[in-house]
Chains A and B, each alone.
Chain A
Amino acid sequence: MNLGGRKVLVTGGTGFIGGRLVEKLVLECDAQVRVLVRNFAHAARIARFPIEMVGGDITDEVAVQKAVLGCDTIFHCAHDFAGTRHQQKRMAVQGIRNVSEAVLQEGVPRMIHVSTFSVYGPTADGDLTESSPWRRPGDLYTQTKRAAERLVLDLHRREDLPVVVLQPTIVYGPFSKSWTIAVVNDLKTGLVPLVNGGDGYCNAVYVDDVVDAMILAATQPDVLGETFLISGEQPVTWKEFYSAFEAAAGIRATVAMSEEELRKASREQARLSNVIFELLTLVRQPEVVSRFVMLPAMRGFLDILRDHLEEERWESLKSRVLGNASWDHRQTSGSIKQIHVPNATRLALYQSKTRVRIDKARKRLGYVPQFDFEHGMELTTRFIRWANLA
């Protein structure tokens, strides 16, 4: 079976993986694509294609029902990282419930649910397969993804929901917020610690491989109700991962640190940080800053800061806030670089020496990663430079 001429619905199509999926479905599969769009402001990338965009929120039962109507395949990629814990859980669980119920009601032949390898929690060293246990409660992202995955697999067992679950690993590539744009941003704005020298394993996968796996999951026979880990051919070390991004961005900003040093840095940072400092960092866009610092209240506050801070701290603050706002690009000397201290989940990820096995996806889906890390990073580097990220 192929998707040529078939009507497919993509949720989360304005996001990173969903956006690339839409491109491939149109350009390579010749599918008729419909996308459920919550916020049209984010639709610029997919609006380049002759697709149908249907306005609506994944938590709106009626909107989902309407979007699913007449489709042969549903790709469920939607996930929201914003909002409160409650909102995120609601979106993840209510969203997938709405999609699943619509699939059952309309008799849609297949639904692909994009989950994550994070459902396994902090992974143990050694091989990770689809039968590995889910360890410890995990963070909010892990919890919501676990709940969604449980829900669809339960519906498969009880009501024959025709679902295939994919669990991608560290997905990087053009337009990836978490594992490309944020990585470059961290390197630009501070020091990135390599935990224990960065010898943990990074199971990275280039976005095109994930999307190819999704298309295979939509078309291969006898895979309903199955779960597949999707990763690259081989893991790289975190040192290799970050070094590749340093090379792409032309920045040296990694620093090897032990766990103890990280804990100390974390304590120090907590002591130094204050809300206004972080707010000022957030408004680094030149046009925002130039207006922000003109506000009378802000000017008064800045005058007080200048009078009371040591010169080095004041200069550091100025350089952090103004960023590129000034056309004088000379570096301010003595600026203090912040260490991006990882949270507990990230720390565990950086430390683990887990090797994600893709044998099941190879065997049942015919999945063969086309991009080793070197090739994937070559393309990602081109994107980083094109998008002026560095």
Chain B
Amino acid sequence: MNSGREKLSSSKAGAPIKLAIIGCGAVTELSHLPAAAKVWNLQVTVLVDKNRSRAEALGRQYGVPHVAEDYTQVWDKVDAAIVALPHCLHAPVSIDLLAHGVHVLVEKPMALSGAECDAIIQAAEQGRTVLAVGLMRRFQRSAQFTKAILDTDWLGHIESFDVQEGFVYNWPVASDFFFRKEAAGGGVLIDTGAHTLDTLLWWLGDSASLEYFDDNYGGVEADCELRLVMKCGATGIVKLSRTHNLRGTAIIRGTRATLEVSLHSNQVKLRPTGMAFDVVGHVLPDWPQAQREQSYVDLISAQLTDWLNAIRSGHSPAVPGVEGRRSVELIEACYAQRKPLVLPWMAPGMMRSSAAIGEVAR
């Protein structure tokens, strides 16, 4: 069996990288296919889904020449694959592909546990293939700006943070997998939280201790709250929701200044400590024609480009497996020590029985 690098170097130099997208759900339709179409020298050659008619319909729409129902039918025909399957399949399918010499970009969350992440990382090493994790928020300019100013100590010593991300859930899911614990691994924490926690850990480093509360009573949580103490000494709260709209920003308070950064746009707000003024604006690149905001598709195509460069150059991608593992490990720790979230309109008696059901469910 050829390794990923050998396969690629044996193909014609400068030829497009042949890509399979495995899983044809909403994220593939709305994000991966439009993003791949914007990336230079990348050719989506096959769509894989057990629902063949769904794959064929998307194939027609985006001019993808081949479809298959089983990913094992395509691994010798492509250089790389995006794994966009139910969360529980991220690890087994990624491991299989990487071991067969196919470079992989696996959607977030990387897997359901730290142990599964380790197995994926090991498979990439053994297959000499490039593994990247779909945490494209790291390509948002406001997130990169935040990382840069935290690394350069502009805010001073970081004392606290407050992160809120939530919408009334309306992702056009094609099946119930997002809401089945065995398939999704959890609810809003492992889904939206994979992004939120990834950026937080990227900015501030790993956590030292945590308390975790959610409203799961035997299914998957729709709302949750984390109280974290980071190794850097900062303490803070992360709130996530699928039932109501939350602020959608991270507030990071340092001794010199407080930064509020949007989680979905390039807006930032900076207030120097002791001053009654805010600096509000957008993080812009240094080329004049750039759009103020980046779309979701822009972010994914930026990550695809980074991953393809890594495949071609042999360098590490911006979000390798070890980085994807960090949020999974934190999420796993949260679920292991879940406590019931208080919903303030619920009668105390009901909360008791809810807590009991939650305990049984764990």
Chain A residues proximal to chain B, CB less than 8 Å:
26-28, 37, 40-51, 53, 55, 173-175, 286-287, 290-291, 294, 327-328, 379-380, 382-383, 385-389
Chain A minimum-CB-distance residue to B222: A44
In the assembled complex, how far is the CB of residue B127 from the closest CB belonging to chain A, in whole angstroms? 35
Interface membership of B202, Cβ < 8 A = no
In the assembled complex, how far is the CB of residue B307 from the closest CB belonging to chain A, in whole angstroms? 25
Cβ-defined contact, B295 with A291, below 8 A: yes
Binary interface profile of B, 160-179, with partner A (CB < 8 Å = 1, else 0)? 00000000011111011011
Residue from B220, B245, B350 within 8 A of A47 (CB atoms):
B220
Cβ-defined contact, B265 with A290, below 8 A: yes
> Which residues from B are CB-within-8-Å of A26?
217-218, 357
Cβ-defined contact, B173 with A294, below 8 A: no
Given contacts A55-B176, A328-B280, contact A48 B221 (CB under 8 A): yes
Cβ-defined contact, B173 with A41, below 8 A: yes
> Which residues from B are CB-within-8-Å of A379?
345
> Which residues from B are CB-within-8-Å of A175?
243
Residue from A28, A45, A328, A387 within 8 A of B350 (CB atoms):
A28
CA distance A44 to B216 in the complex (A): 11
Binary interface profile of B, 231-248, with partner A (CB < 8 Å = 1, else 0)? 000000000001111111
CA distance A49 to B350 in the complex (A): 14
Cβ-defined contact, B170 with A41, below 8 A: yes
Cβ-defined contact, A48 with B187, below 8 A: yes
CA distance A382 to B353 in the complex (A): 20
Cβ-defined contact, B219 with A42, below 8 A: no
CA distance A185 to B300 in the complex (A): 35
Most buried by A among B219, B264, B354, B361: B219
> Which residues from A are CB-within-8-Å of B79?
none
Q: Can you name 8 extra interface pairs (CB under 8 A) apart from A47-B179, A51-B219?
A: A40-B173, A42-B169, A50-B357, A55-B175, A174-B345, A383-B345, A386-B344, A387-B243
Cβ-defined contact, A386 with B343, below 8 A: yes
Cβ-defined contact, B265 with A48, below 8 A: no
In the assembled complex, how far is the CB of residue A224 from the closest CB belonging to chain B, in whole angstroms? 30
Given contacts A27-B357, A287-B264, contact A43 B179 (CB under 8 A): yes
Interface membership of B293, Cβ < 8 A = yes
Cβ-defined contact, B217 with A27, below 8 A: yes
> Which residues from A are CB-within-8-Å of B260?
327
CA distance A287 to B248 in the complex (A): 10
Residue from A44, A173, A382, A385 within 8 A of B242 (CB atoms):
A44
Interface membership of B215, Cβ < 8 A = yes
Binary interface profile of B, 180-194, with partner A (CB < 8 Å = 1, else 0)? 000000011000000
Given contacts A27-B353, A49-B217, A286-B265, contact A386 B244 (CB under 8 A): yes
Binary interface profile of B, 123-141, with partner A (CB < 8 Å = 1, else 0)? 0000000000000000000
Cβ-defined contact, A53 with B345, below 8 A: no
Chain B minimum-CB-distance residue to A174: B345
Interface membership of B256, Cβ < 8 A = no
Cβ-defined contact, B219 with A37, below 8 A: no
Cβ-defined contact, A41 with B187, below 8 A: no
In the assembled complex, how far is the CB of residue A100 from the closest CB belonging to chain B, in whole angstroms? 26
Cβ-defined contact, A290 with B344, below 8 A: no
In the assembled complex, how far is the CB of residue B270 from the closest CB belonging to chain A, in whole angstroms? 11
Interface membership of B50, Cβ < 8 A = no
> Which residues from A are CB-within-8-Å of B245?
387-388
In the assembled complex, how far is the CB of residue B293 from the closest CB belonging to chain A, in whole angstroms? 6
Interface membership of B292, Cβ < 8 A = yes
> Which residues from B are CB-within-8-Å of A287?
248, 264-265
Interface membership of B61, Cβ < 8 A = no
Cβ-defined contact, B353 with A28, below 8 A: yes
In the assembled complex, how far is the CB of residue B139 from the closest CB belonging to chain A, in whole angstroms? 17
Cβ-defined contact, B244 with A388, below 8 A: yes
Chain A minimum-CB-distance residue to B269: A327
Given contacts A294-B293, A327-B269, contact A382 B171 (CB under 8 A): no
